[in-house]
Homo-oligomer: A and B are copies of this chain.
Amino acid sequence: MEHHIVSSYDQELKFILRRISEMGGQAERMVEQSVAALIRSDWGLAQAVVADDVLLDAAQRELDERAIMTIAKRQPMAQDLREIVGAIRISNDLERIGDLGKNIAKRVIAVHEHSQPVQLVRGIEHLSELALGQLKDVLDAYATRDHVRAEAIRSGDEEIDAMYTSIFRELLTYMMEDPRNITACTHLLFSAKNIERIGDHATNIAETIYYIKTGNQMETDRPKGDRTTSISDAAVSGAQSA
C-alpha cells in the first residue's frame, strides 16, 4: 500500500480490510462445513451453513455501503481508489462463495438416502480440497498484496477444472450403470459444479489483487471454467471403456 499520513481514510480502509478478512474466513468455513456435511450426511451441520449464509450476505451489504460512502467522502485516487473498489469486488466474490456453500448444504438430505461409492465421495472431497486451497492462497495473497502470487494462483484453477471434468464423467457413468443412482448423482453433480465455481471465484479474487496492485487487468490467456459442457455420450462411453 502507498504511504499515507494517518487519516480517516486509513481508518476506514482498515475497517473495510478487516471485514474482508472476516468474510474470507467465514466463506472458507462454510465451504469446508458444507462438504463435510455432504460427505458425512450431517444435516445439523448443513443447517448451520444455511444459517451462516444470512450473516455473510448482511456483511457484504454492509461492506458495500461503507465502501461507497468512503469513496464519496474521501475521493481516493489511484491505488487508494482501487483498494476500495477491489474490496467491493472481493466481498462480492466471497458472498457468492458462501452462496455456493449453502447450495451444497441444501442437497445433503437428498444425497443422504443413497450410500455413494467411496471413489465418488473421495473425488468430491479432493475437489473441495483443491478449491479450498485456492481460496486460502488467494486470501493470503490479498492480505500481503502479493500480485505475483495472485498470478500463480490462477493457474491452479486448471487442476480444479480437470478434476471436475473427471468427476462429471464418473458420475454420468455411475448413473448409466444403475438408474437407482440417478437422483443422488444429480445432486452430487450440482454439488461438484458448485465447488468448481468456487475455484472460479478464487480466480476472480486473484485478478482483483492484480488490479489493485498494478492498475491493469491480468491478461486473459486462460479461459475460465467448465470443460464438461461439450461432453457427449461418446466421450462418456470412452471413459467407461478406458
Contacts and interface: CB of A to CB of B under 8 A. Distances in A.
A182 interface: yes
Given A72-B71, A230-B106, A182 B182 contact: yes
A177 B32 CA distance: 36
A183 B72 contact: no
Interface string A63-80: 010001001110111000
A168 to B, nearest CB: 8
A83 to B, nearest CB: 12
Given A73-B75, A231-B110, A183 B236 contact: yes
A68 B109 CA distance: 43
Interface in A50-99: 64, 68, 71-73, 75-77, 81, 85, 92
Contacts of A180: 233
A232 interface: yes
Contact of A182 (B172, B184, B229, B234): B172
A179 B179 CA distance: 7
Interface residues of A, number: 39
Contact of A233 (B113, B175, B193): B113
A72 B67 CA distance: 11
A42 interface: no
Contact of A183 (B76, B114, B232): B232
Given A72-B76, A92-B92, A110-B229, A172 B186 contact: yes
B85 A68 contact: yes
A230 B172 contact: no
Interface of A: 64, 68, 71-73, 75-77, 81, 85, 92, 103, 106-107, 109-110, 113-114, 172, 175-176, 179-180, 182-184, 186-187, 189-190, 193, 226, 229-234, 236
